[in-house]
Amino acid sequence: MADAAVEFLLQNVKELLVYNVELLGDVKKEVEALRDDLEVFQGFLEDSADYHGGSNHNEQQAIVRKIRSIVNRAEDAIDNFVVEKSRNADRNVFSRAAHMVDHLTSVRGIAGEVRSIRSSVDKINAQKGSSARFSDRDVRGNGGVENQPPVVEEDNVVGFDEEAEKVISLLREDSEELEVIGIVGMAGLGKTTLANKIYKDDTVDYEFIHRAWAFVSKDCRIEDVFISILKQLTDTTEAIYKESSTELAKKVRECLMQKKYLIVLDDVWTHDTLDTLRIAFPNNKKHSRILLTTRKRFVAEYANVNRPPHDLKFLTKGESWELLEKKVFGKTKCPQDLTYLGETIAEKCGGLPLAIVVIAGTLLPKRNIKDWWDQVAQGVDDFIVKDERKFLEVVGRSYNSLPPNLKWCFLYFGLIPRGPIPVWKLIRLWLAEGFIKYDSRSGVENAAAVLLDELVDRNLVMATSWKSNGRVKSCRVHDTLRIFCKEEAETQNLYHEIDMSNFGSLGNYRRICVNSNAVQYISSKSSGEQVRTFLTFNPDPTEKITLEPTDLTKMLKAFKRLRVLEVSSIKFTRFPKELRQLVLLRYLAFSCNFKSIPASISSLWNLQTLIILTSNSTLEVHEDIWKLFQLRHLQTNSTTKLPSPPASNKDKGRENMQTLSTISPESCTEAVFSRTPNIKKLGVRGKVGILLENGSKFMENLVKLENLVNLKIINDVTSHSAIPRLSRKFPKNLRKLTLSGSSLSWDDMSILGDLVFLEVLKLKDNAFRGDVWKPKSASFGCLRVLFIDRTNLVKWDASDKQYSSLIRLVLRNCNDLTGIPSCLAGATSFQNLEIYCCSKSVIASARELHMKTPKQGQVNKSSKSLKLTVYPPDM
């Protein structure tokens, strides 16, 4: 993972040269040379990661170790130099000179060491250039060792009966076309076990006389897969080992052409591999099937676009205990005095068969000793990770296949408490940590989202909620995998979690997380200069811990080199002057009770994300905020008053800002939006109605934001002033719109209905008023989610041409509404109807609509039945 660290330092140096070259002064040339050397190191380390042999292997690995060491020291030297240079404004000329001499010497000394390592790297590269290139794998010749599948246990299979029946029914469906049935699940969940159970089922054995099982894996040779299939279907000779993949595919195809067959492709990783294999399997109109297992959902979806894959479930509490009991006691029963402890242990394994099997291995040697069972029950997590052979063999296989920066992203989940984390927060933390490489085409946020999708596809991360566009909204890792992340991160020196038992030395850790007793830790800590990340999460996000001014000062002085400070669960009673000295900060999140942000925040020139949660209704910031040229996300929970950008720097950094939420209507000026033309998410809260009545160009300014996709407008209901009309010109690329307290006429909905990309519309607190809403024809064609809360609407008419893409409808507190348009029953995409605290007529209408909606399988194989939720349930 060394190249991820080099990538971060390289990015840091580049930004330093772009945004604050004046800070470098006498060491500018050394820093530029360091940039060039780091680019060479990056390529060298990426090459080394795939190289495992050769005459100069030992020399190369020694250089890798040197690079890992020098990168950290170079980072320290640069950071210390920048921090001290920034602080010089507060010192007299003699003090400045004394402090800077030492740091100049340090930077130049590091530069000399870097040049020495660079010469060794150049030597290795020269040797590589004059010899054969490194190979990812040895080419297997005749008689070589084939890729072997894992051993699949046939006994003690628990919790798969219902799953197997579902998949078998899919295999036996009447379609004569060749169908691919996908099984998707995370590592250790039992995909191969389930597939094996199905493969050997008597019914399947009767239906498919011609069957073959092929273990594919990530690093498979296509030739080996075809050879394995041929061996199971027909007699073969040694000659097949000399044939190409094309010739072997032809033989498989000829062998299957006149047969009804079942092929199991176990552990498929990419759609490219699937494409290469699929040419060997003819669609011979004989009801043939392919059963595919994969950790990556998109592979299964790609394999059959017309049928969603079968998602393998976690074991229930009862199934978990049944498996644990069988693994420990075989065919005998658990002694009665151990049953309760056994059930407790099984439940703590979270339904993951892998975890249960591993924990059973720890119980087996002392299976009749109650004290041992009690000890295991008290520390299930510790016992799981101790058996590295069993645990890492499965989870580690997925982990080791990740590219370096994706490994860091995955291990970061160990820092996050159990439970979901919003994707936006996770991505911004990743960016601040430097895990994401800059992508000029799609942007770093999109690049990070792609990496998260890959982790979800690999079933290392679980999506807990989704956005309307299908992207992950929040996510988490299984508790067992979180344990793995923490253990692996400790060995990689990536981070360290603080608790009451280890308040001592931080060693060389650069990232720490305090998830309990944060105040006690902060008040006891006096030094942590090597720490770059300080995180603390409160299990209850609604509660804030107040930090005394003295402790706040102590913390900021102790951790002077921070890049990430996530303490939104801690409440600041004042804006600390010491904060402005943390010039390396990229991510800052905190809670407070003050009303303004001082101009001194502009000293945080590295800042990318600023999140402020205040107990006040308004927050004021000074114009110096516009000096934060790298700022991408400004997020507050109150109405924030932004000043106009000064003319002197109106263009610098204007391409970076992505989020402004929540700002006052008065801040929505042409000058502000000219400074933030690429903004994607905007939240506005205040007296919007009064502002528009006074002739404001609020809406005209909004229209100019061509990249805006998420807009929230909250009209302060205390103003008692409705928004007079919506402008006919509206931000045309909007995908999500929230309106609250606007009291608009339903006639204005026609403007929103014409927004061709609008997917989510949330109308809250009488956003629209009036008795009748009749959308014009063919409107809201892309709308997927409609949310209406509090309205005096009585009659809602619609036609079959509207809401053709609607997936979810939520109605709250609609006491006057008489019914829901019956045409929604014909929307094939409609899946969720939620009614909360509405009139009896609405509930009756919803139930009637639910009865009319086609049930699963009545329209086509992929259709979904409508889920109806009514609250309170007794209405």
Check which CATH number belongs to the domain holding 63 and give it.
Answer: 1.20.5
Q: For residue 431, give its domain range.
A: 402-491
Q: Which of 127-131, 221-225, 382-386, 825-829 shows the lowest mean pLDDT across its residues?
A: 127-131
Domain boundary among 285, 311, 337: 311
Could you tell me the pLDDT band of residue 732, with boundaries at 50, 70 and 90? confident
The continuous run of DSSP H or E covering 450 comes out as helix 444-457
Of 360 and 616, more confident: 616
Q: Residue 95: its pLDDT value, please?
A: 45
Q: Residue 748: its pLDDT value, please?
A: 87
Question: Does residue 83 fall inside a structural domain?
Answer: yes
Query: 192 and 117, same structural domain?
Result: no
Of 502 and 566, more confident: 566
Could you tell me the pLDDT band of residue 1, with boundaries at 50, 70 and 90? very low
pLDDT greater than 90 at residue 788: yes
Query: 447 and 346, same structural domain?
Result: no
Q: Which of 242-251, 397-406, 619-628 shows the lowest mean pLDDT across its residues?
A: 397-406
Query: 124 and 18, same structural domain?
Result: yes
Question: Does residue 32 fall inside a structural domain?
Answer: yes
Q: What is the mean pLDDT of the chain?
A: 80
Mean pLDDT across the stretch 495-518?
Answer: 72
Could you tell me the pLDDT band of residue 390, with boundaries at 50, 70 and 90? low
pLDDT greater than 70 at residue 621: yes
Query: 410 and 324, same structural domain?
Result: no
Query: 222 and 82, same structural domain?
Result: no
Question: Does residue 707 fall inside a structural domain?
Answer: no
Query: 20 and 88, same structural domain?
Result: yes
Question: Does residue 602 fall inside a structural domain?
Answer: no
pLDDT greater than 50 at residue 433: yes
Query: 110 and 7, same structural domain?
Result: yes
Query: 289 and 327, same structural domain?
Result: no
Q: Residue 491: its pLDDT value, please?
A: 78
Question: Does residue 738 fall inside a structural domain?
Answer: no
Query: 21 and 85, same structural domain?
Result: yes
What's the structural domain count of the chain?
4
The span from the CA of 858 to the CA of 575, in Å, is: 62
Question: Does residue 464 fall inside a structural domain?
Answer: yes
Q: Which residue has the tokens 């007079």?
A: 724
**Greatest Cα pair distance in the chain:** 92
pLDDT greater than 60 at residue 534: yes
Q: What percent of the chain has pLDDT over 70?
A: 76
pLDDT greater than 70 at residue 97: no
Query: 124 and 66, same structural domain?
Result: yes
CB 319 within 8 A of CB 159: yes
pLDDT greater than 90 at residue 209: no
CB 549 within 8 A of CB 576: yes
Question: Does residue 429 fall inside a structural domain?
Answer: yes
Domain boundary among 288, 311, 334: 311
Question: Does residue 854 fall inside a structural domain?
Answer: no
Q: What percent of the chain has pLDDT over 90?
A: 26
- Give the domain CATH number at 228: 3.40.50.300
Q: Residue 375: its pLDDT value, please?
A: 84
Could you tell me the pLDDT band of residue 710, with boundaries at 50, 70 and 90? very high
Query: 246 and 209, same structural domain?
Result: yes
Q: Which of 4, 79, 101, 52 is nearest to 493 (CA)?
A: 4
Query: 366 and 440, same structural domain?
Result: no
pLDDT greater than 90 at residue 509: no
The span from the CA of 430 to the CA of 407, in Å, is: 12
pLDDT digits (tens, 9 = 90+) for 128-181: 443 333 333 333 333 334 444 444 444 456 778 888 888 998 998 888 899 999
From residue 374, how far is each of 24, 333, 340, 521, 783 by CA, in Å?
60, 18, 10, 31, 54
pLDDT digits (tens, 9 = 90+) for 622-680: 878 898 988 999 999 999 999 888 876 666 777 889 999 999 999 999 999 999 999 99
3-state DSSP assignment of residue 247: helix
Domain boundary among 460, 491, 522: 491
Q: For the CA atoms of 718, 719, 722, 723, what is the dihedral angle to 10 degrees?
A: -120
The span from the CA of 30 to the CA of 869, in Å, is: 65
